Chain A
Amino acid sequence: MFKEFRPAIIGFVLLTLLTGIVYPLVLTGLSQLLMPSSANGSLLMKDGRAVGSALIGQPFGNAGDFWSRPSATAPMPYNPTASGGSNLGPTNPALIDAVKTRIQALHAADPDNHAPIPVDLVTASGSGLDPDISPAAAFYQVARVAKARNMSAAAVRRLVEQHIQPRQFGILGEPRINVLELNSALASY
């Protein structure tokens, strides 16, 4: 019965050292050496200070910016210290009410737009930190952004088209647009 106790204790300690200390520290060292930018969060710098991460979404609500997807994190949206989705079920009235409120906000900001609303623009993402919107969701907002910024819709549309990230290797994932990068490009247009 106790014959296996010694190997159990020693095995646990040894494997903890190997897989819990050596392995993560060696990987941290290698990553910091070879790929420091991505290992530290793909930060975007402006005038010497970090203004965000290329991978983490930010909340946008001004008429002149492209809006990100709704985020269910608490207490504020796009809070990376409390990532997660709404976990609202498909038949939950709270989900339907939340979507209605989001539709109203979109209509209020752009009363002339009667097009069907792309679904990702009114549904919360899984992480609450989704950096992307679909190209459809971006095109839907072109008229509002152009008006608020006194730009031509064609110019804004061109900017959107330039920022479409196609599927990886032409096949994996979905086409998407990084909202932070699009809005930054818009700001420096």
Chain B
Amino acid sequence: MTANGLMQIALFFGALLLLTKPMGKYMALVYQGDIPAFVRWIAPAERFFYRLYGVKPEQEMRWTQYAIALLWFSLIGMIALYALQRLQGYLPFNPQHFGAVSADSSFNTAVSFVTNTDWQGYAGESTMSYLTQMTGLTVQNFISAAAGMAVAVAFIRGFARHTAETIGNFWVDMTRSILYILLPLSIVLALTFVSQGVVQNLAPYTTVHTIESVSYDNPKTDAAGNPVKDAAGNPITEKAQTQDQTLAQGPVASQEAIKMLGTNGGGFFNANSAHPYENPTPLSNFLQMLAIFLIPAGFCYTFGNMVGDTRQGWAIFAAMTLVFVAMLALAEISEQAGNPALTSLGVDQTASSLQAGGNMEGKETRFGIVNSALFATITTAASCGAVNSMHDSFMPLGGLVPLWLIQLGEVIFGGVGSGLYGMLIYVVVAVFIAGLMIGRTPEYIGKKIGAFDIQMASLVILIPPFLILCGTALAVLLAAGKAGVANPGAHGFSEILYAFSSAAGNNGSAFAGLSANTPFYNIALAVAMFFGRIWLMIPVLALAGSLAAKKRIPPGAGTMATYTPLFVMLLIGTVILVGALNFIPALGLGPVVEHLTMIGAH
């Protein structure tokens, strides 16, 4: 690590630490209906929305009703997004005249964006009309994030309340998330992005006349537009030359802002945040990274504030940060070390004042190693999934970091809302384990943890590994699963493992060499995304309902303090142990084997 690299990382953490408390405090006020004066002018709009919905904001819901509202909202979103993609050819704001997206891809994308995964089997700039991007994808970027935030707030109320039957009103929590938090922040961030060079227009793609002409092999197509293949099945190409470059345009900045703030991660363009029109400068990159962690980090404080003991929130923040720093170090060191196979070819990979060095395959010059590894660690610790470099081309251990962070359950800051409730589930398990060790009933923030609570927590922790490991096993057994693999050997296995981890963990990043826009992957991954989101939210809400109904017991002499460094270590141990026990065999077959064969060969 260079001194500048350490400074950039320190700057990021400094900014995050400074923003965590104000952000968390603001969210706590908003969700408790104590709207701060400087945004009170939004309140009439909020009341207007409730009147049209036909709901009374003060009327609260039991957890079952909360879950039903969430399910209806998600279902309608999926149907609308599916229909929009299928019909985009007949609709306006389509200057490139893109036709309907295929049925299986539309289904996959509809599930993907509604579950806040934003896995992308398609390439945006050659598939989606501006209308689909704006009224389909951007909308889900907002409302899927807001739904996750609502569930987190409901879950916090489970701890903050006692002997209560209700956990809040879904429509209120969701609407407030958008009106007071996501939308204002998005407007500011999007304008800042435009100032850096992110495009924001509705114009057709621009063709420019380049300085040099380029010759290339153009795949031959028949009259119907299908590629022509020779007897061996290889595509036939013909020599072609062009001096034209077609620049893809679109309303990018508006989607880019909420893509990061809502930990969505679905790129407007195929290259995502590596694309210079999505992420043109180191400053835009810094703000994108900060935007990913802003709300998840703030939620730690919101939690502490709402349960009346901010130390509880900071303890969770500390546990997240420690795991994050350890994983970041591994990613940075692996990527900066570079590829030994290239060193032996006479390639200079050492960092100097004139170059970033390291493993630059799939990385952008302006970001170098430091910001690529940092971005990759952030985007997978949180369930964002935006990428500013291609994870598939990371070194074996550098690629293990994002993969394992997803597999830990997206709880290291995690998704907006989902990161906090995911981590609190681990807290419940940690106090349960501690309770077993000393022979006392486990309790957390004045709530006794009972059998039902542990059952729900276990469901949340066990469903994702089940989806990931069974999905991967299925894919490697089927010809349709193996057909998509791009890289040979252990790395190919990692591609499949990463795809199912990303889907079930609702991350959305990929080892993108895998050709996943096929009926098999579109459907299998959609199933993983759906259950990885909805089937976790339901037990989380059930647990919230159970906790809210409990009496609050005052801390006694035998109560374990859950804000001490000891507890932080216990929590980290629980997360790592569960993650390790579930996934070490699978990781062993993928990145670990690849790493060992690589150092064996050099």
Instruction: Give residues in A with beta carbon < 8 Å to B.
Output: 1, 3-12, 14-16, 18-21, 23-24, 27-28, 30-32, 34-35, 38-43, 49-62, 65, 69, 75-93, 95-96, 99-100, 103, 116-120, 122-137, 139, 167-169, 171-176, 180, 183-184, 187
Contacts and interface: CB of A to CB of B under 8 A. Distances in A.
B348 interface: yes
A115 to B, nearest CB: 8
B360 A41 contact: no
Interface stretch (B193-201, B413-421, B432-440): B193-201
Contacts of A100: 345
Given A31-B194, A53-B276, 8 more contacts: A20-B135, A87-B392, A90-B339, A90-B341, A96-B342, A100-B345, A125-B360, A171-B11
Contact of A28 (B201, B346, B366, B597): B201
B365 A130 contact: yes
A16 to B, nearest CB: 5
A154 to B, nearest CB: 18
Q: Is the interface of B mostly helix, strand, loop or mixed?
A: mixed
Contacts of A135: 354-355
A187 B249 CA distance: 28
Interface in B200-256: 200-203, 205-206, 208-212, 214, 216-219, 237, 240, 242, 245-249, 251, 253-255
A41 B217 contact: no
Contact of B362 (A28, A65, A86, A183): A86
B277 A81 contact: no
B366 A174 contact: yes
A59 B123 CA distance: 22
Contacts of A127: 271, 274-276, 364
15 contacts: A1-B68, A27-B254, A34-B194, A52-B210, A55-B277, A82-B126, A87-B486, A88-B361, A91-B396, A95-B361, A118-B348, A120-B356, A134-B354, A174-B365, A174-B368
Residue with the greatest number of chain A CB neighbours at <10 A, chosen from B138, B143, B277, B346? B277
B285 interface: yes
Give the top 4 A-B pairs by smallest Cβ distance, nearest first. A173-B282, A126-B274, A87-B513, A20-B135
B69 A7 contact: yes
A136 B354 contact: yes
A137 B347 CA distance: 11
B126 A119 contact: no
A53 B69 CA distance: 47
> Which of A1, A7, A127, A176 has the most chain B CB atoms closer than 10 A to its own CB?
A127
Contacts of A16: 80, 135, 139
B513 A89 contact: yes
Given A20-B134, A95-B361, A136-B355, A103 B200 contact: no
Q: Which of B11, B210, B211, B356 is the most central at the interface, judged by chain A CB atoms within 10 Å of its CB?
A: B211
Contacts of B349: 119
Contacts of A82: 123, 125-126, 270
A37 to B, nearest CB: 9
Contact of A83 (B125, B195, B345): B125
B248 A80 contact: yes
Nearest to A58: B210
A95 to B, nearest CB: 7
Contact of A125 (B194, B251, B274, B357): B274
Contacts of A4: 65, 68-69, 72, 170
Contacts of B245: 52, 56, 58, 78-80
Nearest to A103: B345
Given A4-B69, A6-B53, A132-B366, A24 B138 contact: yes
Interface residues of B, number: 138
B194 A39 contact: yes
A43 B208 contact: yes
Nearest to A5: B72
B282 A168 contact: yes
B55 interface: yes
Interface stretch (B102-110, B183-191, B296-304): B183-191
B364 A125 contact: yes
B359 interface: yes
A117 B348 contact: yes
Interface in B141-173: 141-143, 170-171
B202 to A, nearest CB: 6
B394 interface: yes
Contact of A85 (B138, B194, B271, B487): B271
B212 A62 contact: yes
| Chain B CB within 10 A, most for which of A32, A136, A184 | A136
Contacts of A76: 214, 216, 218, 240, 242
A24 B254 contact: yes
B135 A81 contact: no
Contact of B389 (A126, A128, A180): A126
Contacts of A86: 361-362, 390, 393
Contact of A75 (B75, B218, B494): B218
Nearest to A132: B365
B489 interface: yes
Contacts of A65: 211-212
B395 interface: yes
B136 A118 contact: no
Contacts of B246: 79-81
For B197, B358, B393, which residue has the most chain A Cβ atoms within 10 angstroms? Answer: B393
| A4, A6, A18, A76 pick with most chain B CB within 10 angstroms | A4
A24 B208 contact: no
Interface string B333-346: 00000110110011
B72 A128 contact: no
A23 B352 contact: no
